């Protein structure tokens, strides 16, 4: 896995009711360099967003999750970045 040092379990368990929205990254301000190889794009995105499960879009706090599948977070992030 390319994110060995990221505790995704901790990130996805963030409680949006107790988080300070000002501490969340605004996704609309993130720029992704599509010239980078996919692995580097993924690392860069995670570094910038800080928590791919909980972030802001403007003033709106967003918390995402995905259903039980055999897809890994790597698979999901790869598909996401290929679409944008």
Domain positions in the chain are 8-83
The Cα–Cα gap between 64 and 52 comes to 8
76: closest CA among 56, 47, 46? Answer: 46
pLDDT value for 56: 95
Question: Residue 68 above 90 pLDDT?
Answer: no
pLDDT value for 4: 67
Cβ burial of 65 (10 Å; 0-12, 13-18, 19+) is: exposed
Residues 22-55: tens digit of each pLDDT:
999 999 999 999 999 988 998 899 999 999 999 9
Is residue 74 a contact partner of residue 8, using CB atoms and an 8 Å limit?
Answer: no
């Amino acid at each position: 896995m390319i994110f060995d040092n990221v505790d995704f379990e901790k990130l996805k368990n963030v409680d949006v009711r107790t988080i300070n929205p000002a501490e969340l990254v605004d996704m609309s301000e993130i720029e992704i360099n599509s010239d980078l190889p996919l692995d580097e794009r993924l690392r860069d995105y995670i570094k910038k967003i800080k928590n791919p499960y909980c972030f802001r879009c403007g003033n709106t706090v967003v918390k995402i999750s995905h259903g039980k599948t055999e897809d890994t977070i790597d698979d999901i992030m790869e598909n996401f970045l290929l679409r944008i």
